[in-house]
Structure 1
Amino acid sequence: MDLEKSKSRQPEDQWFTRNTFVRLTLLALLIFLSVALTLSHFFTPSENTQSNLPLGGFLSKPRGQEICRQYDYKYPQSYIKDNSTVLNILFNETFRNHSAQKLSQAVQIPTDVYDEDPSVEKDPQYWNDKFTPFYDYLNKTFPIIFTHLQVELVHSHAIVVTWKGKEAESDLKPILLTAHQDVVPIQKSTLDQWTYPPYDGVYDGDKLWGRGSSDCKNLLIGLLESLEELYKSGFKPKRTIILGFGFDEEVGGERGAQRIGQFLTQRYGNDSFYAVIDEGGQSVAYEEGVILALPGTSEKGSTDVVVGINTPGGHSSVPPLSQHTSIGLMAILIESLEKDHFQPIFSPGNPTFHEYQCIAKYSPTLSHRIKKSLLNADKSHRANKQATHWLYNKSLLSRYLITSTQAVDIINGGVKSNALPEYVEAVINHRVAVESTVDEVYNHDLYHAKRLAKKFDLGLISEGDILRNETKNGKITIHKASQLEPAPSTPTVGKVWELFAGNIRHIYEQLVPSGNSKSCYSKPASDDDNVDVVGGGKQVIVAPGIATGNTDTRYYWNLTKNIFRYRPGLFTTVESHAHGVDEFIRFDSHLQIIAFYYEYLQLINEEDNL
């Protein structure tokens, strides 16, 4: 009996044994996979390499471009043979004072422009009065350039300086360096808040004060000084060097830079330039213990959306049944828009992504958790979400670098206190994230206009198309008054970027190793010196950057894929009060502009770098 029972249980026991083996095998496999995943999380190549796969890739990611690669110092042969000129630019007191005088006198000539300024064709005398004195001053101050180089006026007041290269007829592409002559106006109500009068150009030995000192007559004068120093040193370029100075950048650049772009396209053609370098707001920045030089390699787009609301007029003693006048309806729309923020995006398509990966790689203060999320943000949705949340809440600047923005800047409506307003209009300025489009942002506003039209039974016209017929209650009109798509991205690999980044490192780590002052300077460092300091013993990390505003480069996109928005110096334009009270430039920064271009223009003209 027991034997039979034993036999009857045998198949069941065998099944149990086999099942247990399978379970143990599966358990072991799960443990192995878990360990593998854990190890891959800690030993992923992401801290040294950047995957070229989109978010959501798995373990078998190929090794890609190194995260935040820093290039060796790049400098011209003159630095080795005879660096007396560049040292003179940076540290000679006589040169410093003469340079300060040139910039001071440039600031003393008001060249302010306004949104409502007439066209050049409509009122040429207006523009002559404003910019001819500045041109005459440049002519007098830089005789070498105006005598020996080709100087042309485009659309009356845009200046194009051409220094023809010895191989100008070959395939060697020219370089375009730009700045603008105009400045933003001074608000009369703020005059008593200025330390020095805004057009006095006061130089106190450390800073030079006044409107345009930082944005951007410093760059314009610095470029001209660089070319004169090069000419005096006997330099003869192989690659043609062109300077382009617009005169209405602060109001969009349509009269100046746009005409320069058309002029150069007609003369040289599309994709005809080695590079374009314009002003940029982020020169040397300090983030999480990292010193960064941030050449702008893209720009956000922009659009002005105009919304108008028409409603029946009448006496204010008999308001509409809804109790909302057109002004009230506009208030509802504005409130609705301002509650609906654009969502942040942190992707490799934005230079900010690579900037913060550099910060994560080199920061001595950033927490391990944030470092990890930034370095893995292109490989893990969870890491991307954590990095995005941190950046969005870190500061206003970091928030708006990774999202589209909206600002209701103008509103007009109503004519009398006892009359119902028949029309009210608002202008909403948007800055468009690099991952987005103008249409996507416009549709965000249109969505809220549609909701308002439906709720209050109003007509709706979008970009001239009737979406809802006008009713007895009135109508809404909405359209784009201006539009600029996000800029194409400049490559950050290859010889052009390598020379540019390497020269920046050379200037700030070898020529001005103390970083901020001529008084701390002892001698230029060689490659063998252990000098990696700028203002406190730290290397300068060159990373792609982006500003929240736009520059004149929008008119040069067709000339080259290599567009850098960068102005050497120690302060961003925000820190130096550009557009505000007490605009200034720390004069060491101005000298560094001259020194940088003195070396860089030689560097890109040497045989090995052509």
Structure 2
Amino acid sequence: MNRIQKIAKRGGLISLAILTLLAGILGWNCWRFPSQQIALAPLPKLKLDEAEVLSRFQGAIRIPTISISMARMSEEGVHQQFRHYIETTFPTLHSAPFLVRTGTEFGDALNPSVLLEWPGQDPSLGGILVMSHSDVVPIEEDSLDQWSHAPFGGDVDESYIWGRGTLDCKHGLMAILEALSLLAAEDFQPQRTIYFAMGHDEEILGREGNRKIAEWFRSRGRRIHSILDEGGCIFTEFPGLDRPAALIGVAEKGYLEAEVTVHIDSNQVGHASMPPGETAVSILATAIDRLQASPLPARIDGGLRDTIRFLGPEMPSLSSRIAMSNLWLCEPLVKHKLGAKPSGNALLRSTVAPTMIEAGVRSNVLPAYAKATLNIRLLPGDSIEGVLAHLRNAVKDERVEVVALPNAREASPVSSSDAEAFELIQKSAVEVFPDVVVAPFVLVGATDTVHYTDLCQNIYRFIPTRLSERDTKRFHGIDERIGRENYFDIVRFFHRYLSTAATK
């Protein structure tokens, strides 16, 4: 064997040894990739008067509480009607030991948001806050004929409850009220104070609802141990799993609208029959193209890394488990696979979507300016100023101005998925829905919890609504509905969660 052959053989042996070592490391990490699931026996089904529970829910759906500002509120309006409905439907919750705050407590006698307080026996403990909202989004007039059931009819058949608010978010609001009413009837004595905040304007940013309620907590120095609001659901067809995934929101992305504007010299404005080399529209189009070609960096950290930590060990596919348990090597592959779909891409990075364009007044006149609006959702860890700097750097054109519009908000902090407060939600979900895999995740939408981030470290977002992929389109859409049995189980979930969280 000559020298070259010996070197080649030695190199082959070294390569084989490296590959063997690598395979061993990958296999070891996969083998010791620990499950984060909690094994618990299912709870016996809590007995409910299902006919009465359904009837009360139907009554709530039939009140068309479409979001409006306080300036349009009236004494005879639907939001006052809904507040009266809650008061008369759940009288137990509007008498001792419960305390009810509404109206002038939040700055205006007509403010229909409500804060229920059930004082705990140990005032030294921080309270638990559950949240929901009574307002719903409007129905588009030209979509009415596409609804199988009247949007505010509250129709019920053998399988479903139909109507606007059945998914967002009167099911959560009514289920919490049902659970509180059941606990009161059982003579339950909470150790921690239980608060229930019912906002009336979440769909229009919650400025007069939960923002005012949060101010009430601040002004009185009330301590909040944990918060549970809407957000995550039970997804029955989660990619890579053979079981439903119960996703609990541990954070939510920030929100920013930005304007991209081009103003050009007056000598470039005139008749369209003699166009210059560049117009305001073409400059804007180039800027948008550059933005689309320069996405913000993808990252696997914070909430997403925890999602992988919880879901990875439960995936039937060996290759998926190997990749998820070896992010030190496989992170680029995981990013590529996640980023291939819009839903996965939104978890990886701050997203930028051009949504509106404005330019010109007539087809034969060159416009003096052109403007686009960008809708931006910020990943936790990114900042508004940092994202704006990225956009300006991507455009690279002094003629193009990028400015933030009002009402921007930073991404929320990421709450711990190792905290006892998270575990209580996880346990309650598993006890009522024993078929689920539980995991934390970052919510790409927004909730009223944004008003409380300085008041509490343990903020979570979850209602155990079972959703197929097709059902997700019913949010704010046509034929909104929820399964009858699912709604009853949501009542049972909140009964279990409140009874355990208030005793810790």
Structure 2-normalised TM-score?
Answer: 0.88
Residues in 1 aligned to 2:27 and 2:391: alpha-carbon distance in whole angstroms: 45
Alignment map for 1:483-498 (pairs within 5 Å): 483-498=408-423
Residues in 2 aligned to 1:194 and 1:28: alpha-carbon distance in whole angstroms: 67
Residues in 1 aligned to 2:92 and 2:359: alpha-carbon distance in whole angstroms: 55
Deviation, 1:480, is: 4.0
Deviation, 1:276, is: 0.1
Alignment map for 1:72-471 (pairs within 5 Å): 72-73=39-40, 87-89=46-48, 95-113=49-67, 118=69, 120=70, 123=71, 125=73, 129-148=77-96, 149-153=98-102, 154-155=106-107, 156-168=111-123, 171-269=124-222, 272-287=223-238, 288=240, 289-311=242-264, 315-317=270-272, 320-324=275-279, 326-347=280-301, 349=302, 351-364=303-316, 366=317, 368-377=318-327, 380=328, 382-393=329-340, 395-449=341-395, 451-453=396-398, 458=399
> Is residue 599 from structure 1 mapped to residue 499 from structure 2 by the alignment?
no
Residues in 1 aligned to 2:35 and 2:215: alpha-carbon distance in whole angstroms: 36
Deviation, 1:369, is: 2.9
Residues in 2 aligned to 1:71 and 1:127: alpha-carbon distance in whole angstroms: 49
Say whether the 8 Å CA contact 1:215–1:573 is kept in structure 2: no
Residues 316 and 27 of structure 1, relative CA distance in 2, 3 Å threshold: closer
Residues 315 and 508 of structure 1, relative CA distance in 2, 3 Å threshold: same
> Is residue 44 from structure 1 mapped to residue 3 from structure 2 by the alignment?
no
Deviation, 1:249, is: 1.2
List structure 1 runs of 4+ shifted beyond 4 angstroms: 26-33, 312-315, 317-320
Say whether the 8 Å CA contact 1:316–1:419 is kept in structure 2: yes
**Residues 501-539 of structure 1 deviation map (CA, whole Å, 9 limit, x = unaligned):** 122111112xxxxxxxxxxxxxxxxxxxxxxxx3xxxxx
Deviation, 1:574, is: 7.0
Structure 2 runs not aligned, ≥5 long: 1-6
Partner amino acid, structure 2, of 1:87: L
Please identify, of 183-192 and 488-497, the stretch whose mean Cα deviation from structure 2 is larger.
488-497
Residues 332 and 128 of structure 1, relative CA distance in 2, 3 Å threshold: farther
Residues in 1 aligned to 2:487 and 2:498: alpha-carbon distance in whole angstroms: 17
Aligned to 2:463: 567
Q: Indicate the RMSD between aligned Cα atoms, in angstroms.
A: 2.8
**Residues 380-406 of structure 1 deviation map (CA, whole Å, 9 limit, x = unaligned):** 2x311111112212x321222112211
Residues in 1 aligned to 2:365 and 2:15: alpha-carbon distance in whole angstroms: 77
The DSSP-based 3-state class of the residue aligned with 1:203 is: coil
Say whether the 8 Å CA contact 2:63–2:82 is kept in structure 1: yes
Aligned to 1:501: 426
The DSSP-based 3-state class of the residue aligned with 2:196 is: strand
Aligned to 1:549: 445
Say whether the 8 Å CA contact 1:226–1:598 is kept in structure 2: yes
Residues 318 and 569 of structure 1, relative CA distance in 2, 3 Å threshold: closer
Say whether the 8 Å CA contact 1:296–1:565 is kept in structure 2: yes
Larger Rg over CA atoms: 1
**Residues 159-194 of structure 1 deviation map (CA, whole Å, 9 limit, x = unaligned):** 1111111223xx111100000111111111111111
Aligned to 2:477: 580
Structure 1 runs not aligned, ≥5 long: 1-22, 50-66, 90-94, 461-475, 510-533, 535-539
Say whether the 8 Å CA contact 1:73–1:503 is kept in structure 2: no
Partner amino acid, structure 2, of 1:404: S
The DSSP-based 3-state class of the residue aligned with 1:103 is: helix
Residues in 2 aligned to 1:430 and 1:140: alpha-carbon distance in whole angstroms: 42
Residues in 2 aligned to 1:561 and 1:550: alpha-carbon distance in whole angstroms: 17
Residues in 1 aligned to 2:368 and 2:356: alpha-carbon distance in whole angstroms: 18
**Residues 209-241 of structure 1 deviation map (CA, whole Å, 9 limit, x = unaligned):** 111111001100111111111111111212110
Deviation, 1:145, is: 1.0
Structure 1-normalised TM-score?
Answer: 0.73
Say whether the 8 Å CA contact 2:201–2:207 is kept in structure 1: yes
Residues in 1 aligned to 2:468 and 2:201: alpha-carbon distance in whole angstroms: 21
Aligned to 1:92: none
Residues 481 and 424 of structure 1, relative CA distance in 2, 3 Å threshold: farther
The DSSP-based 3-state class of the residue aligned with 1:506 is: helix
The DSSP-based 3-state class of the residue aligned with 1:215 is: coil
Residues 574 and 487 of structure 1, relative CA distance in 2, 3 Å threshold: farther
Aligned to 2:3: none
Aligned to 1:20: none
The DSSP-based 3-state class of the residue aligned with 1:44 is: helix
Say whether the 8 Å CA contact 2:159–2:483 is kept in structure 1: yes
Deviation, 1:28, is: 13
Deviation, 1:30, is: 6.1
Share of identical aligned residues, percent?
25
The DSSP-based 3-state class of the residue aligned with 1:492 is: coil
Deviation, 1:333, is: 2.1
Residues 231 and 388 of structure 1, relative CA distance in 2, 3 Å threshold: same
**Residues 293-347 of structure 1 deviation map (CA, whole Å, 9 limit, x = unaligned):** 11111112221112222335654346552341x3333233222222333342223
